[in-house]
Amino acid sequence: MNYELIRYLDEYIKQKRYRLINSVLLYKNNELILERYYNKFNELSRNNIKSIWKSILSICIGICLDMGYIKSFDEPISNYLTEFSENIHPYHKLITIQHLLTMSSGIYWNGGIHYHCPMMEQIRRSKNPIKELADTSIANMPGTKFVYKEFDVILLSALINRATKMSCYDFCKKHLYDPLDIKSDEWAKLKDGTDYNVNNSILESKSDLSAKDLSKLGYMLLKNDGNIVNKKYILQATSPLVGANNYGYLFWILNDGFAGLGYGGQELRILPDKNIVYVIQATATSQNKAYGDVFEELLKLI
C-alpha cells in the first residue's frame, strides 16, 4: 500500500470538498496500492454503480454470443423482440443488436434533467414497456447517429432475457458475477420483469457493488484472458466507434484506456498499457457530479 499516495488523496479530497466520495481503489501491476473509504464506507459497503451497469450488460451480451444464445451482432432485434416485427415503423426491422450496443437504434429520446425524465417514467409505469418502446417514434435511421439513451439498454436487457430464457440478472450472476465471486442484490425490474438500472430512477436502482467487486470486473477486463468472455469481443467493445470516437460497446473510450462511467461520479477505469485498474464510488444526488480530476491527480504520482 502506498501511504504517501493515500495521504495525498485525503488532502486533495478535503481541499476540493468532495464530501460525497465513498470509496477509492487503485491497482497497478496487479498490486493494490491505494484503498481508501469515507463516509463510514468499508470494503464490504456497496454503492450503486449507475450506468456502469451498461458496461456490464455489454460483457453479458459478449457471453451470449460465446454461448450461442445469439448468432451475430448483425441480427435484427426483431428476431428476439417480436414487438419490433409488427411493421409499426419501417425502420424497426433494421435495428440490430449492434445498434443497441452502440446507442444508435434511432429511437427518439429526450433525457430530461436531474432524474426527471418523463419518457423514462412512462416506460416505468407501462405494463408492457417493450411494446411501449416499439410505439416510440424513430428519430434517425438505425446506425447513423450516436445518442446516449436508456431505451437502448432496456431493449438489450429484454433481448438477453428472451434469448437466454433467464432474467438478465440471473444470467449475469451465473456467468459473470459468480465466477468472479461478486456479490449483488437483484436488479430493479420494469412491470414486465425486464431488469433495468438507469440514471433516472434514484429510488429504484438496485445494482449495488462494493468497490472491491467492481475492481474484480476491472481486473478481468484488464487481463482479457478469455475465461469469462471472448478476448476478441472485449477488444472490440473497448475500441472507439466510427462517428462516436469516445464510445465503444457500452464502454467509454479514454486516451489511454477505457471505462465504465455512472451518474454521480461512479468510475471503473482500465488502462491496459499502464496495467492500472481504478475505482471511485460516490453518493449520487439530483445534481450530477464527476471526479475525473481525482484520478488524474493520482496518476501524476504513480
Please write the tens of the pLDDT for every residue from 218-245: 999 999 999 999 999 999 999 988 666 6
Is there a contact between 296 and 276 (Cβ–Cβ < 8 Å)? Answer: no
Over range 41-62, report the average pLDDT: 96
Over range 206-217, report the average pLDDT: 93
pLDDT for the residue 200: 45
Mean pLDDT over the full length of the chain: 93
- Cell readout for 231 is 478476448
Q: Which of 100-109, 112-121, 151-160 has the lowest mean pLDDT?
A: 112-121
Domains of the chain: 3-299 (3.40.710.10)
Over range 64-86, report the average pLDDT: 97
Over range 261-265, report the average pLDDT: 93
Over range 79-102, report the average pLDDT: 97
Q: How many CA atoms lie within 13 A of 75 on its CB side?
A: 16
pTM reported for the whole predicted model: 0.94
Contacts of 121 (CB under 8 A, 6+ apart): 200
Beta bridge partners of 99: none
Burial class (CB in 10 A: 0-12, 13-18, 19+), 129: buried
pLDDT band at 138 (very low <50, low <70, confident <90, very high): very high
pLDDT for 115 beyond 60: no
Over range 55-64, report the average pLDDT: 98
pLDDT for 97 beyond 50: yes
Q: If you search the block for the grid coordinates 431488469, which residue do you land on?
A: 195
